Amino acid sequence: MTRLTVIAGPTAVGKGTVVRYLLEHNPEILLSVSVTTRQPRVGEIDGVHYFFVSNEQFDQMITNNELLEYAVVHQSNRYGTPRKPVEEALKADKQIILEIDIQGARQVKDSMPEANLIFIAPPSLEELKRRLIGRGTESAEEIAIRLDTAEVEMASQSLFDHVVINEEVAQCAAEVLDLMKTS
């Protein structure tokens, strides 16, 4: 059984919600907390949602080889996965999920081919647009950038070991869990 699961998919597909649901119902599964250079949003807690770091700190982590993967996402901020917690989880025989972008997923697959890559897809691109506009957290300009990224991301599905369509949260989480148990 693969213990390292990478979950990716286009912006606003609802992968964060699926992952939260999965963790709530399966507390033995760990979630990797990423580092990012973006500013915290209201309600986000350092060390819980992300480790919020400066550009200099991020550079230092790269130099020290502390990141398993990293990427610039949505043409703006940098995000990366701290290597140590992942290695520790795997050593302790625990399941760990990385919820990262597609560039990061590709890097993880290169360095850890045993990783199980799961792509969360929307029922359609139209539905994705509806979800992105509906959540109302991005400006019109950000929405346009994210939709551009989403189209590129949708084209990367073949890189993944599995594709799960997010019609509904519980169903999608159950399918992901099943893949985590059987892959």
Q: Which of 18, 99, 106, 118 binds ligand 5GP (CB under 6 A)?
A: 99
Q: Which of 41, 49, 47 is nearest to 20 (CA)?
A: 49
Q: How far is the CB of 62 from ligand 5GP (least distance, A)?
A: 12
Q: Which of 6, 58, 101, 120 binds ligand 5GP (CB under 6 A)?
A: 101
DSSP state for residue 46 in the 8-state scheme? B
Could you tell me which stretch among 54-62, 94-102, 160-168, 175-183 binds ligand 5GP (CB under 6 A)? 94-102
Query: How far is the C-alpha of 76 from the C-alpha of 29, rounded, in Å?
Result: 30
Residue 79 makes contact with ligand 5GP by CB under 6 A: yes
Hey, what amino acid is at 42?
V
Q: Which of 6, 12, 71, 143 binds ligand 5GP (CB under 6 A)?
A: 71
Q: From residue 21 to residue 60, what is the string marking binding to ligand 5GP with x (rule CB under 6 A)?
A: -------------x---x----------------------
Query: How far is the C-alpha of 31 from the C-alpha of 20, rounded, in Å?
Result: 9
Q: Considering beta carbons, is residue 97 or 180 the nearer one to ligand 5GP?
A: 97
Residues that bind ligand 5GP in the complex, under the rule CB under 6 A: 11, 34, 38, 69, 71, 73, 79-81, 99-101, 103-104
